[in-house]
Amino acid sequence: MDVRLITHSGIRRHPVEALAGLLAGGEGLLWVDVPDCDPDAARVLADVFGFAPGSVHDCVERNRVPKVHADPDHLFVVLHAPERGAGGHVHYVELDQFVGTRYLVTVHGPVNPAVDGRVALRDTRAVLDRLESGKLRPSTPFELSHAIVSTLTHRLEDFVEMLTGDVWKLEQRVTGGNLDDPEQLLDELFRARHGLLAARTMAASSREIYHRISTLADTVPVTAGSLVTDLVDQFDRVRTLADNQREYLQGVIEFYRTRTETKMTIAAERFAVIAAVTLPITALSSVLGMNVIVNDHTQVWPLVATLAVMVAMSAALLRWARRRGWW
Domain boundaries, the chain: 2-260, 264-323
Q: If you ran DSSP here, which 8-state letter would residue 298 be given?
A: B
pLDDT digits (tens, 9 = 90+) for 68-78: 999 988 999 99
Residue 204 binned pLDDT confidence (cut-offs 50, 70, 90)? very high
Q: Could you tell me which of 156, 151, 129, 316 has the C-alpha nearest to residue 236?
A: 156
Q: pLDDT at position 175, please?
A: 85
Q: pLDDT at position 311, please?
A: 79
pLDDT digits (tens, 9 = 90+) for 169-188: 989 888 887 767 778 888 88
Between 289 and 89, the more confident residue is: 89
pLDDT digits (tens, 9 = 90+) for 235-287: 999 999 999 999 999 998 888 888 777 777 777 777 777 776 677 767 666 66
42-56, 117-131, 271-285: lowest mean pLDDT where? 271-285
- The yes-or-no verdict on residue 196 having pLDDT over 90 is yes
- The yes-or-no verdict on residue 59 having pLDDT over 60 is yes
- The yes-or-no verdict on residue 229 having pLDDT over 90 is yes
Distance CA 299, CA 188 (A): 63
Q: pLDDT at position 194, please?
A: 93
Q: pLDDT at position 88, please?
A: 85
Report the pLDDT averaged over residues 56-84: 93
- The yes-or-no verdict on residue 224 having pLDDT over 80 is yes
Interior CA angle at 206 toward 213 and 127, to 5°?
90
Distance CA 218, CA 176 (A): 58
Distance CA 128, CA 146 (A): 13
Distance CA 202, CA 180 (A): 35
pLDDT digits (tens, 9 = 90+) for 162-171: 999 999 998 9
Between 40 and 288, the more confident residue is: 40
Report the pLDDT averaged over residues 106-123: 90
- Give me the long-range contacts of 82-89 (CB less than 8 A, separation at least 24): 82/155, 82/156, 82/159, 82/195, 82/198, 82/199, 82/202, 83/115, 83/119, 84/159, 84/162, 84/195, 85/112, 85/114, 85/115, 86/114, 87/191, 88/188, 88/191, 88/192, 88/194, 88/195
Burial, 38: exposed, middle or buried (Cβ in 10 Å; 0-12, 13-18, 19+)? exposed
Q: pLDDT at position 25, please?
A: 80
HSE (side-chain half, CA atoms, 13 Å) at 256: 26
Q: Could you tell me which of 8, 172, 186, 158 has the C-alpha nearest to residue 83?
A: 158
3-state secondary structure 147-184: HHHHHHHHHHHHHHHHHHHHHHHHHHHHHCCCCCCHHH
Distance CA 96, CA 74 (A): 13
Neighbouring residues of 269: CB distance < 8 A, sequence distance ≥ 6:
326, 327
- The yes-or-no verdict on residue 299 having pLDDT over 70 is no
What fold is seen in the domain 2-260? Beta Polymerase; domain 2 (3.30.460)
Q: pLDDT at position 327, please?
A: 61
Report the pLDDT averaged over residues 55-77: 93
Q: Does an H or E element contain 221, and which?
A: none
Q: pLDDT at position 257, please?
A: 81
Q: What is the pTM of this model?
A: 0.81
Name the average pLDDT for the chain.
Answer: 87
CB count in 10 Å sphere of residue 189: 22
Q: pLDDT at position 324, please?
A: 65
Q: pLDDT at position 319, please?
A: 78
Q: pLDDT at position 297, please?
A: 65
Distance CA 23, CA 30 (A): 8
